[in-house]
């Protein structure tokens, strides 16, 4: 039994890097399949894994806390501060850095946070609050820093279907058929494998996007990737630091560090210099390496306690 459990934990530790390699190698067929489906594969996977996770969350357990206030304050102030700090050097890099911070927490953060031992209700609450707050703040920030006019409706239309709908569906399931919701919640590990499938598609599309970029200097690409790496590490570190002050480092780290990079790439391509979308595209890779390392550390700590 212990051997099987150790094997399962080791597989989870390397699963995300392996999924990224598969997505990168199969970028063309993965992208073609996603286009053939009308770009519905990733949304369907995210909806399913969030439904499974939200079936474990009781509505009365979701409370807005001071931790959420600090996370939001950091996110809003840091994105503007980084933009103004980098703009004198390179406007495109400044936009890429800004959107990596401004982007709300990823829906999948709830799944990974649960695997890391975080309070799922805390992260689920912040997912709802953060995404709504960004939908309010982002139009002003993007319209100021970019070339297009962004509206609340445009952001909300991208957020609501993949966040609010699975939450409402899960709570209705808990209310109407509690036994089904209980079974789904008890098999929450399924959501991790759904996330791996979504990661393969996301990395595949990102790789194809980067390959198809033309007339972009290598130095700009490297600068955007490097700034995304720094911002990724800082956000996970600050999030864990804030979370530790309130007794839940994994919840803070995932809430601030794991970003909805698909939304970030769309915002950059729609309202900023499209080249700046290289930064959130690179962030996809960095945040999943961080998550893999965290899962490895968690697995190692669990083994030592046995």
Give the dihedral of Cα atoms 51, 56, 57, 61; nearest 10 deg: 180
Decide if pLDDT at 226 tops 90: yes
Decide if pLDDT at 140 tops 60: yes
Residue 93: closest CA among 228, 250, 258: 228
* Residues 78-90: tens digit of each pLDDT: 999 999 999 999 9
Judge whether 102 and 279 are in contact, CB under 8 Å.
Answer: no
Of 8-22, 159-173, 235-249, give the range with the top mean pLDDT: 235-249
Averaged pLDDT for residues 162-186:
84
Decide if pLDDT at 1 tops 50: no
Please state, as a whole number, how many other Cβ atoms lie within 10 Å of the Cβ of residue 7: 10
Averaged pLDDT for residues 161-174:
84
Residue 128: closest CA among 98, 94, 104: 104
DSSP structure class, residue 103: S
- What residues contact residue 302 under an 8 Å CB cut-off, 6+ apart? 9
Q: What is the 3-state secondary structure (H, E, C) of 172-229?
A: HHHHHCHHHHHHHHHCCCHHHHHHHHHHHHHHHHHHHHHHCCCCCCHHHHHHHHHHHH
Calculate the CA 149 to chain-centre distance: 25
Averaged pLDDT for residues 33-43:
84
Judge whether 87 and 146 are in contact, CB under 8 Å.
Answer: no
pLDDT of residue 306: 59
- What residues contact residue 156 under an 8 Å CB cut-off, 6+ apart? 135
Decide if pLDDT at 4 tops 50: no
Find the range with the poorest average confidence among 65-79, 80-94, 161-175, 239-253. 161-175
Decide if pLDDT at 102 tops 70: yes
Judge whether 111 and 193 are in contact, CB under 8 Å.
Answer: no
Structure tokens at 87: 């703009």
Residue 250: closest CA among 123, 163, 128, 125: 123
For residue 163, give Cα distances in angstroms to 69, 83, 108, 170. 20, 28, 10, 11
Specify the pTM: 0.84
Residue 267: closest CA among 143, 160, 162: 143
Q: How many degrees, rounded to 5, is the angle at CA 80 between CA 75 and CA 83?
A: 120
Count of alpha carbons within 13 angstroms of residue 150, beta-carbon side: 26
pLDDT of residue 3: 46
- What residues contact residue 277 under an 8 Å CB cut-off, 6+ apart? 96, 99, 209, 264, 265, 268, 269
pLDDT of residue 148: 66
Decide if pLDDT at 25 tops 50: yes
Q: 101-124: b or e for each residue (b if 16 or more CB lie within 10 Å)? A: bbbbbbbbbbbbbbbbebbbbbbb
Structure tokens at 56: 């474990």
Domains defined along the chain, listed by start: 45-305 (1.20.1530.20)
């Amino acid at each position: 039994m212990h051997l099987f459990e150790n094997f399962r934990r080791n597989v989870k530790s390397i699963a995300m890097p392996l999924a990224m390699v598969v997505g990168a190698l199969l970028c063309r067929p993965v992208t073609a399949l996603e286009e053939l489906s009308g770009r519905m594969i990733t949304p369907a996977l995210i909806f399913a894994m969030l439904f499974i996770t939200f079936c474990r969350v009781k509505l009365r357990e979701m409370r807005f806390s001071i931790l959420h206030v600090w996370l939001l304050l950091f996110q809003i102030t840091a994105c503007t501060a980084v933009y103004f700090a980098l703009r004198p050097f390179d406007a495109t890099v400044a936009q890429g850095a800004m959107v990596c911070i401004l982007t709300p927490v990823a829906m999948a953060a709830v799944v990974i946070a649960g695997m890391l031992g975080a309070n799922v209700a805390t992260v689920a609450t912040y997912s709802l609050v953060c995404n709504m707050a960004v939908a309010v703040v982002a139009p002003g920030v993007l319209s100021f820093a970019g070339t297009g006019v962004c509206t609340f409706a445009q952001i909300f239309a991208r957020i609501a279907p993949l966040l609010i709908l699975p939450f409402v569906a899960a709570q209705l399931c808990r209310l109407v058929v509690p036994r089904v919701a209980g079974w789904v919640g008890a098999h929450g590990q399924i959501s991790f494998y759904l996330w791996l499938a979504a990661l393969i598609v996301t990395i595949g599309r990102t790789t194809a996007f980067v390959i198809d970029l033309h007339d972009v200097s290598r130095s700009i690409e490297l600068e955007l990737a490097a700034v995304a790496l720094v911002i990724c590490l800082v956000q996970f570190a600050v999030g864990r630091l804030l979370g530790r002050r309130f007794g839940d480092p994994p919840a803070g780290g995932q809430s601030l560090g794991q970003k909805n990079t698909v939304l970030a790439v769309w915002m950059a391509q729609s309202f900023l210099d499209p080249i700046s979308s290289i930064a959130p595209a690179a962030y996809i890779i960095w945040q999943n390496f961080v998550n893999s390392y965290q899962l490895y550390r968690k697995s190692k700590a669990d083994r030592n306690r046995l």
